[in-house]
């Protein structure tokens, strides 16, 4: 799973702004992603299966969409999931997420923000202690935003 700052923000926004539904997994959409094997530096394609779900929207119409996220163990066919969706989006927003992965992703994006801030402060003529302090504030802001988004998703769930 690829995590970015905007991943958390988009998931939280869609969770709050879209209507919530219960959907049933009816199949999978297969995509191949290029993966690199670090010990041998070789590349290979790995199949990833995104669950396709069916639900009835607020108009009473049956809708079939692919979820926006998956993991190594996708839900079984026939399993019921909670999602949010709107007509404007191609994919349905899965609310039932791996919370441990979200928390770890939140920490890692905070670390990325720290090092990004640290590198960007080298253009200023500041002491190392001040650069570290500014970088920590930048990391804490990103972690705070991500944690806020995760809490919004938990409360809406």
With a cut of 70, say whether residue 31 has pLDDT above it: yes
Angle at 91 between CA 36 and CA 82, to 5 degrees: 105
| pLDDT for 3 | 55
Full 3-state SS string of 61-98: CEEEEEECCCCCCCCCCCCEEEEEECCCCCCEEECCCC
Q: Which of these, 149, 11, 14, 6, lies nearest to 87 by C-alpha position?
A: 14
With a cut of 50, say whether residue 6 has pLDDT above it: yes
* pLDDT tens per residue, range 56-96: 998 899 999 999 887 778 889 999 998 888 888 888 888 77
| pLDDT for 1 | 37
Burial of residue 112 (CB within 10 Å: 0-12, 13-18, 19+) is middle
* pLDDT tens per residue, range 87-96: 888 888 887 7
| pLDDT for 149 | 78
């Amino acid at each position: 799973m690829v995590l970015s700052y905007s991943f958390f923000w988009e998931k939280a926004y869609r969770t709050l702004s879209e209507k919530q539904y219960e959907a049933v997994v009816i199949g999978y959409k297969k995509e191949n992603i290029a993966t690199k094997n670090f010990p041998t530096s070789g590349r290979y394609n790995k199949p990833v299966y995104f669950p396709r779900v069916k639900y009835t929207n607020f108009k009473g119409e049956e809708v079939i969409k692919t979820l926006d996220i998956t993991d190594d163990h996708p839900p079984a066919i026939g399993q019921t999931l909670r999602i949010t969706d709107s007509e404007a989006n191609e994919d349905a927003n899965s609310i039932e997420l791996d919370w441990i992965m979200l928390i770890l992703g939140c920490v890692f994006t905070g670390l990325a923000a720290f090092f990004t801030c640290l590198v960007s402060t080298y253009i200023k003529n500041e002491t190392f202690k001040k650069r570290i302090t500014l970088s920590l504030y930048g990391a804490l802001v990103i972690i705070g935003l991500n944690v806020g988004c995760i809490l919004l998703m938990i409360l809406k769930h």
